[in-house]
Structure 1
Amino acid sequence: MKLFFIRPYLHFTKSQRLGLFTLISLIVVLQAILWYQPLWYVPEPLPKEARVWLQDTASERLVHTYKPYPIKPFNPNFITEYKAFRWGMSVASYQRLQAFRAQGKFVNSTREFQEVTQVPDTILKKMAPYFKFPAWVNSFKKSKTQRFMLAEAVQKKIVKKDINAATAEDLILVRGIGPVLSERILKYRVALGAFVAMSQLQEVYGLKEEVYETLLEHFAVVQPPVLEKIKINDATIKELGAFPYFRYPVSRNIVAYRSMNGPIRFEDLTNVKGISVEKIKIIALYL
């Protein structure tokens, strides 16, 4: 195939050929100079004074940039693995602390921290000044003797009243008891005839556990009450049903058992359907 169509572009005059040769030669020379310069160019060394000055200024910048940060107080219960490593704790010590914390427990003193983790005294001496425990831990660091004396003094101040002689006004003074709840307690006492145990207050509808615990601090069954005994072998279904523990259909079951097996004895109460086995001892006091 003849390339006659590009032939006009390949035809140069003598002056053009001379110019191209000169340009190519110049480019090759410049490239050779740039390529071989590191072999023959050696920079002059800096004076000693200049080198010392550069080293000093570089070290000053380094110190200024990477100055150490102050160590802040921390709660050792929440120490991280990285921070434990920085303080010098061993892996075993850190794992002991984590196992202790997994039980839902907390270390509340430097001594307890060492007992749990078994860290050496040298490491504890470095860490202890930065321990920061919650404020409530520090406020309750009293000896057992002091706490016992305080509890004894508080107990002496509270004179417990007889729950069977308490009035609505007495009950309302207890935190958590209002007019409605005090009226329920008094009505339940009337239905029973009297309280023979403080645990019977838990049977009052709407009485919360924390309020019951507060009642135990202010009231008690001071004297055994004089009860009007229920004649379980003679009472009718209606008479038995008036007793809170023998509400219908328990009263019906009692009469049915009595008619089929004869007079009921104390040990027979467990055979009557509906009677609470847990309360048999209390029920027996009313019979």
Structure 2
Amino acid sequence: MKEMIEAFFSYSSKERRGLLVLVVIVVIINALNFTLPLWYKRGDRFKIEIQNFYETEVFAEDSSAEQQKSVRSKDSLFSFDPNTLSEHGWILLGLKPKTVKTILNYRAKGGRFFNAEDLQKIYGLSAPDYLRFQPYINIKEEKKIYKKYVKKTKDEVKVGLNSGMEEDWKKLKGIGPVLSARIVKFRNALGGFHSVEQLKEVYGLPDSIYQSITSFIVTDSIEIPIFELASATVKELSSHPYVSYAEAKAILNYRDNIRTIDSLQQLVIENIINEEKLIKLKPYISP
């Protein structure tokens, strides 16, 4: 040791300073070699402790969430009808809002669930969710509302007594093309109907059909042409369906050779026509 100290002072001052610097560097290096491993080990241990803490907390949170989910699933299940359950009800069952929206849109467009299995067709509904609440599905039977069908018949048509054409008459039950043509032809020959009862006089029209159509006939008035006995000819008078040729000739012979006709009742008194014929002719002739 003494020799080392003597040797140290044997150097020049410059050499001594250099040697001291070298010693300091060596000491620092040795110190670092000793302390650095201890520092890294402590840092690694800290990291491990932090990781363990994080994993413990995450596990605890997951476990808590699972427990809450399990409790919620058991507590929130209830009997429901998927055709009427509200949005809030679906949420209570634990479905995702997107899945709930899909169900509501399906129903809004007229979709209906006829059995529990139909729910499996909903896009986004998972099998676990379906199996979870499947036992609680209770679809009520839809009440069918039957609208009373009223068959439209020909009888619903209203026909004008004097304005109805052949096509109109054919719309009445029991009136075909033959009878409709006869009705119009008879009406034209008369100059117009003054009473619904005149339809009874149409050839081939059964009374049963007449009775069934009277309530569907509208009595519309028209100006009926009148034959004036003072100026009418035999041909003109006999053209009327209610006056035969013989009756027309007798009436005018009475007018021309016996006396002027002042009243239609004279024809009855003179036995030219009977009372029944007079009643029929009154709307169509005048003295």
Q: Same fold (TM over 0.5)?
A: no
Provide TM-score, normalisation by structure 1: 0.42
Radius of gyration: which is bigger?
2
